[in-house]
């Protein structure tokens, strides 16, 4: 059996298991007698899948490790990266070994599992993505890939649609207008934006003027007190029905756009306070890196802010860089006399002039002792390349979710900022 056929056979077994689980979920709202339950050990369908999975689970660990390492090293991009996910879905032993082999985006530069979207990107080379806006449905889709040589494929709407279908969908957002502002609900899929769904990952909320935004993450911060209280709330008596659990929102960032009441000429000015990322992350430190999706019931503020929600004073000797949140600002463009416009060097990743284009760098104070090189390093850049098509490149310490949410703020109407 060739190595490719071997991987395909593993995928077929995984698909049988997923289809079996899907049939079981369809009737979960009804009470079924134990004797007729399709999940019983004597069920022919379940026994077949269990026998097939047991055959793969009994492989020697050394052989299994070598197989998964070969798959992981061979498939460096999507859609081939799907084979790595297939290996993790065979059985528990395969899943544990795959999780140990696959590194975080910071170390390997790849997005493999859904949790990778909540983990910081690589430090050296940014991860290149693109966003497609669908005006009719008020949705925004984040896809993996798109190099400068492929910009020409987005000149036509039909070609653009076909190309997006061949790309890897990472995240999707839907704009929901409220009386006091706008919400962008972010999901792992493009057709389910319910907060009660397990596909929900967070949201972006704006004020009435569209000048201030808050990024809410479904992933709780590393606060043991809050998480322990949540676990105690979830414990119920065995004879009682547990209440419906709603997903929490952890305020991880604040975005503000500078008002332009005098209508002076110039680009937008924005600032992002990353509550969950310390400023030390850009100078050899580390940013929070979750390893699994967890939800907490209580909404809480980040430990990097004080009780009043203010940023700690950097000059205080009792504060350290670990307790100071990272602040990002848009890189100031230069005025081009011949073109009569503001210009930024996007290194070929942006081709259309737009008020939405921006680059974010670290905004640090002299007392924070951050080198000039780190201050000039572009952490996130966003720009237009065609009708309703935008590129998004991000690197450490931002995650794909955080970068996507910041870019979504640029799509909201800002009449007092332009």
Asked if residue 259 and residue 193 are part of one domain, the reply reads yes
Q: How confident is the model at residue 293 (pLDDT cuts 50, 70, 90)?
A: confident
Provide mean pLDDT across the span 186-209. Answer: 91
Share of the chain above pLDDT 70, in %: 64
b (16+ CB within 10 A) / e for 51-71: ebbeebeeeeeeebeebbeeb
Asked if the model's pLDDT at residue 204 lies above 80, the reply is yes
Q: How confident is the model at residue 363 (pLDDT cuts 50, 70, 90)?
A: confident
Tell the residue number behind the tokens 């780190």, with chain if given. Answer: 374
Q: Give the H/E segment covering residue 328.
A: strand 325-330
pLDDT at 225: 34
More confident residue, 392 or 342: 392
CA-CA distance, 288 to 302, in Å (whole number)?
A: 12
Asked if residue 251 and residue 146 are part of one domain, the reply reads yes
Asked if residue 270 and residue 205 are part of one domain, the reply reads yes
More confident residue, 226 or 237: 237
Q: How confident is the model at residue 161 (pLDDT cuts 50, 70, 90)?
A: very low
**Tokens encoding 134:** 């669908």
Asked if residue 128 and residue 85 are part of one domain, the reply reads no
pLDDT at 24: 39
Asked if residue 70 and residue 126 are part of one domain, the reply reads no
pLDDT at 302: 45
pLDDT at 54: 61
Asked if the model's pLDDT at residue 103 lies above 80, the reply is yes
pLDDT at 265: 59
Q: Give the H/E segment covering residue 224.
A: helix 224-234
**Concatenated DSSP letters for 180-210?**
S-EEEEEESSSS---TTSTTEEEEEEE-TTS
CA-CA distance, 342 to 337, in Å (whole number)?
A: 9
Asked if residue 388 and residue 359 are part of one domain, the reply reads yes
Tell the residue number behind the tokens 């660990």, with chain if given. Answer: 61
Q: Helices in 92-138 by DSSP H: which ranges?
A: 92-101, 105-108
Asked if residue 327 and residue 259 are part of one domain, the reply reads yes
Provide mean pLDDT across the span 260-264. Answer: 61
Asked if the model's pLDDT at residue 260 lies above 90, the reply is no
pLDDT at 203: 94
Choose among 275, 258, 252: nearest CA to 210. Answer: 258
pLDDT at 170: 93
Three-class SS of residue 355?
A: coil
Asked if the model's pLDDT at residue 295 lies above 50, the reply is yes
pLDDT at 160: 47
Region of poorest pLDDT, from 3-7, 39-43, 102-106, 231-235: 231-235
| This prediction's pTM | 0.76
Q: How confident is the model at residue 399 (pLDDT cuts 50, 70, 90)?
A: very high
pLDDT at 7: 56
**pLDDT tens by residue, 120-157:** 999 989 999 999 999 999 999 999 875 444 544 443 44
Share of the chain above pLDDT 90, in %: 27
- Identify whether 334 is part of a domain: yes
Asked if residue 179 and residue 64 are part of one domain, the reply reads no
Q: How confident is the model at residue 261 (pLDDT cuts 50, 70, 90)?
A: low
Q: What is the 3-state secondary structure (H, E, C) of 214-256?
A: EEEECCCCCCHHHHHHHHHHHCCCCCCCCCCCCCCCEEEEEEE
More confident residue, 103 or 27: 103
pLDDT at 414: 60
Region of poorest pLDDT, from 8-12, 110-114, 153-157: 153-157
Instruction: Residue 400: count other Cβ atoms within 10 Å of its Cβ.
Output: 23
List the Cα angle 366/370/375 in 5-degree steps.
100
Asked if residue 174 and residue 62 are part of one domain, the reply reads no
**Tokens encoding 367:** 């007392």
Asked if residue 123 and residue 92 are part of one domain, the reply reads no
Instruction: Residue 225: count other Cβ atoms within 10 Å of its Cβ.
Output: 10
Provide mean pLDDT across the span 281-303. Answer: 69
**Tokens encoding 239:** 């004879």
- Which residues form the domain of 62? 1-12+53-100
Asked if the model's pLDDT at residue 30 lies above 60, the reply is no
Q: How confident is the model at residue 321 (pLDDT cuts 50, 70, 90)?
A: low
Q: Are 90 and 68 spatial neighbours (Cβ–Cβ below 8 Å)? A: no
- Identify whether 305 is part of a domain: no
Asked if residue 265 and residue 130 are part of one domain, the reply reads yes
| Best mean pLDDT range from 127-131, 156-160, 279-283 | 127-131
- Identify whether 186 is part of a domain: yes
Strand-pairing partners, residue 184, are: 175, 204
Three-class SS of residue 371?
A: coil
Three-class SS of residue 116?
A: helix
CATH of the domain at 406: 3.20.90.10
Task: Round the average pLDDT of the chain to a whole number and report it.
Answer: 74
Q: How confident is the model at residue 258 (pLDDT cuts 50, 70, 90)?
A: confident
pLDDT at 370: 72
- Identify whether 58 is part of a domain: yes
Asked if the model's pLDDT at residue 381 lies above 80, the reply is yes
- Identify whether 4 is part of a domain: yes
Cα-Cα-Cα-Cα dihedral sign, residues 142, 148, 153, 157: positive
CA-CA distance, 253 to 231, in Å (whole number)?
A: 25
List the Cα angle 92/96/100 in 5-degree steps.
165
Which residues neighbour 302 within 8 Å (Cβ) at sequence distance 6 or greater?
A: 221, 250, 251, 252, 275, 276, 325
Cα→Cα distances 284→224, 321, 381, 402, Å: 25, 11, 21, 20
The number of distinct structural domains making up the chain is 2
- Identify whether 232 is part of a domain: no
Instruction: Residue 329: count other Cβ atoms within 10 Å of its Cβ.
Output: 16
Cα-Cα-Cα-Cα dihedral sign, residues 407, 412, 413, 414: negative
Asked if residue 144 and residue 75 are part of one domain, the reply reads no
**Tokens encoding 148:** 């400068």
Phi, psi for 359 (deg, rounded to 5): -130, 135
Asked if the model's pLDDT at residue 218 lies above 50, the reply is yes
- Identify whether 369 is part of a domain: yes
- Identify whether 160 is part of a domain: no
Region of poorest pLDDT, from 132-136, 194-198, 279-283, 340-344: 340-344
């Amino acid at each position: 059996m060739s190595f490719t056929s071997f991987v395909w056979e593993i995928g077929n077994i995984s698909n049988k298991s997923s289809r079996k689980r899907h049939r079981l979920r369809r009737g979960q709202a009804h009470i079924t007698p134990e004797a007729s339950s399709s999940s019983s050990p004597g069920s022919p369908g379940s026994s077949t899948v269990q026998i097939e999975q047991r055959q793969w689970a009994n492989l020697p660990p050394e052989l299994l490790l070598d197989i998964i390492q070969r798959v992981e090293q061979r498939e460096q991009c999507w859609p081939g990266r799907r084979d790595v996910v297939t290996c993790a879905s065979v059985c528990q032993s395969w899943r544990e070994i795959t999780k140990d082999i696959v590194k975080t985006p910071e170390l390997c530069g790849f997005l493999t599992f859904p949790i990778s979207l909540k983990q910081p990107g690589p430090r050296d080379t940014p991860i290149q993505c693109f966003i497609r806006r669908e005006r009719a449905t008020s949705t925004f889709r984040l896809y993996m890939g798109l190099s400068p040589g492929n910009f020409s494929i987005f000149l036509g709407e039909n070609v653009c649609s076909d190309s997006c279908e061949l790309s890897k969908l990472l995240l999707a957002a839907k704009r929901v207008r409220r009386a006091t502002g706008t919400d962008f609900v972010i999901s792992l899929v493009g057709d389910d934006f319910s907060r009660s769904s397990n596909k929900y990952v967070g949201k972006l909320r704006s004020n009435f003027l569209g000048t201030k935004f808050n990024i809410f993450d479904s992933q709780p911060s590393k606060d043991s007190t809050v998480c322990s209280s949540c676990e105690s709330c979830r414990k119920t008596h065995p004879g009682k029905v547990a209440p419906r659990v709603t997903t929490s929102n952890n305020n991880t960032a604040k975005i503000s756009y500078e008002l332009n009441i005098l209508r002076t000429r110039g680009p937008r000015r924005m600032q992002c306070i990353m509550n969950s990322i310390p400023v030390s992350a850009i100078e050899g430190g580390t940013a929070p890196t979750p390893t699994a999706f967890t939800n907490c019931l209580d909404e809480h503020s980040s430990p990097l802010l004080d009780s009043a929600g203010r940023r700690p004073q950097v000059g205080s000797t009792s504060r350290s860089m670990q307790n100071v949140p990272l602040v990002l600002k848009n890189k100031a463009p230069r005025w081009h006399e011949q073109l009569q416009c503001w210009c930024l060097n996007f290194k070929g990743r942006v081709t259309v002039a737009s008020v939405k284009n921006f680059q974010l760098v670290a905004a640090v104070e002299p007392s924070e002792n951050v080198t000039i090189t780190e201050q000039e390093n572009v952490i996130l850049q966003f720009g237009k390349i065609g009708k309703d098509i935008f590129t998004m490149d991000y690197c450490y310490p931002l995650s794909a979710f955080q970068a996507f949410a910041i870019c979504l703020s640029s799509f909201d109407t800002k009449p007092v900022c332009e």
